[in-house]
Structure 1
Amino acid sequence: MKKYFFPALKLTVVMVLLTAGIYPLLIAGISKLAPGKGDGVTVTNKGKVVGYANVGQQFTDDKYFQGRPSAVGYNAAGSGGSNKGPSNGDYLKVVQERIDTFLAHNPGVKKENIPAELVTASGSGLDPHLSPAAALLQVPRIAKLRNLPENKLNELVKENTKGPLLGMFGPSTVNVLRLNIALDNL
């Protein structure tokens, strides 16, 4: 038994040191090189932190661009999707309610023109981005409520659109929080 016990004990101690000590410290050190220094990228407005760049927020006032729905109430501590698929009746009911709400707040929009991200939550429930098309679809409502010309809001969406990574990986996106801050600063 001693023949196997001590080598197994040594291996266990080495692996604990590697996986519970050295590896986490290495990853924490690497994260200090990332934007936000591993603490997340904060978004500020007039010197005050108003949110995080990679965490969605809920905007309920119609004079703002609405972001993607969240399955976790925009709680970053409880990140996760609904885990319900398109064959789940409860899920379909929630999506239909979101569609009905969007149509009620955006008269003139047809159901078939609503991008999926405006009525479905992301896998994390915290996605802060929309497609430019989803943002542009909301322009008429916001222009009317804020008494602004639509072309000015279209330009604002364009200015806040970030292209694909390296010009070819992924879609163009609009960060809703940054867009709404720019909207307030008009």
Structure 2
Amino acid sequence: MLTHLRPTLVLTTALTVVTGLAYPLAMTGLAGTLFPAKAAGSLVERDGVVVGSALIGQSFTGERYFHGRPSATTAPDPADATKTVAAPYNAANSGGSNLGPTSQALRDRVADDLARLKSENPAAPVPMDLVTTSGSGLDPDISPEAALFQAPRIARTRGLPEDRVRDLVAAQTQDRLLGILGEPRVNVLALNLALDAGQVRTGR
């Protein structure tokens, strides 16, 4: 029995050390050396203060800011731990709503969002990603169309020419990876930071 047990224990221990300890530590060290910013979480700073991550969306609700894609993430209800409450972009509980097309709650939520967005910009069709949540609930990006849809509101509330807001969106639009992977996108946090920086330069 020991003849069979010893090789099994040795192999299990060796693989645990290599794959569970040595390899993760080596990859973490290599990533920290070659890509320190990304390895640290792609944190975004403003005036030396961390204001978020380029990889995780934030809940911008003010009329003066671009809004991201809806998020269905939740958190425990402080008043009742057996229940949950909405907590948009909660990275500790990434996930979708799991509501299907027959869900009345989903249809009501989408209808409300559509009505609000159409009142904001009646002349343009509402981009799909402004009313649908993602599987993760953490998307930091929106489509260029979703950003441009919001340009009239931003221009109106900030007293800016709409063309200037559109130019800002174009400047912040990232192309497909390697020209072929994914879709063009705009990082909402970066766009809002650029928007604020532009306001400072104009003295508004």
- Length-normalised TM-score, structure 2: 0.81
Q: Which amino acid aligns with 2:44?
A: V
How many Å separate the matches in 1 of 2:8 and 2:2?
A: 10
Q: Deviations over 1:18-66 (max 9, x none)?
A: 2321221132123212251511112222332211111101111111111
SS of the aligned residue for 1:43 comes to strand
**Do the aligned partners of 2:68 and 2:188 also contact (CA within 8 Å) in 1?**
yes
Moved over 6 A (4+): none
In structure 2, what is the Cα distance between the partners aligned to 1:37 and 1:96? 38
Distance change >3 Å, CA 70–CA 163, structure 1 → 2:
same
In structure 1, the residue matched to 2:69 is: 68
Alignment equivalent of 1:77, drawn from 86, 89, 92: 92
For 1:167 and 1:109, the matched residues in 2 are separated by 31
> Counterpart in 2 of 1:31?
31
Q: Give the corresponding residue for 1:9.
A: 9
Which residue in the other structure is 2:112 paired with? Answer: 97
Task: Give the match for residue 176 of structure 1.
Answer: 188
Q: Which has the higher contact order (CA 8 A, sep 6+)?
A: 1
Q: Contact 2:71–2:133 at 8 Å: present in 1 too?
A: yes
2:188 alignment partner AA:
V
Q: Distance in 2 between matches of 1:9 and 1:152?
A: 67
SS of residue paired to 2:61: coil
Of 116, 122, 132 in structure 2, the residue corresponding to residue 108 of structure 1 is 122
Please tell me whether residue 145 in structure 1 is matched to residue 160 in structure 2. no
Q: Partners in 2 of 1:18 and 1:96 — Cα distance?
A: 53
- Paired position in structure 1 for 2:80: none
Q: Which runs of 5+ in 1 are unaligned?
A: none
| Residue 34 of structure 2 is aligned to residue 22 of structure 1 | no
Could you tell me how far 1:161 is from its partner in structure 2? Answer: 0.7
Equivalent of residue 126 in structure 1, options 138, 153, 178: 138
2:152 partner amino acid: P
Cα drift, residue 76 of structure 1: 1.6
Question: Which letter does structure 2 place at the counterpart of 1:47?
Answer: G
User: What TM-score results when the alignment is normalised by the length of structure 1?
Assistant: 0.88
Comparing 57-66 and 11-20, the one that deviates more: 11-20
Percent identity between the two aligned chains: 46
Question: CA offset at residue 14 of structure 1?
Answer: 1.6
The alignment's C-alpha RMSD in Å is 1.8
Q: Secondary structure at the match of 2:44?
A: strand
Indicate the SS of the match to 1:164. Answer: coil
Q: 1:88 aligns with which of 103, 117, 123?
A: 103
Partners of 1:26 and 1:85 lie apart in 2 by 43
- In the alignment, the residues of structure 1 paired with residue 158 and residue 20 of structure 2 have an alpha-carbon distance, to the nearest angstrom, of 54
* Aligned residue-pair number: 183
For residues 85-119 of structure 1, what are the alpha-carbon distances to aligned partners after superposition, in whole Å with 9 as ceiling and x for unaligned?
A: 33433333332232233234x14145xx2112111
Aligned to 2:41: 40
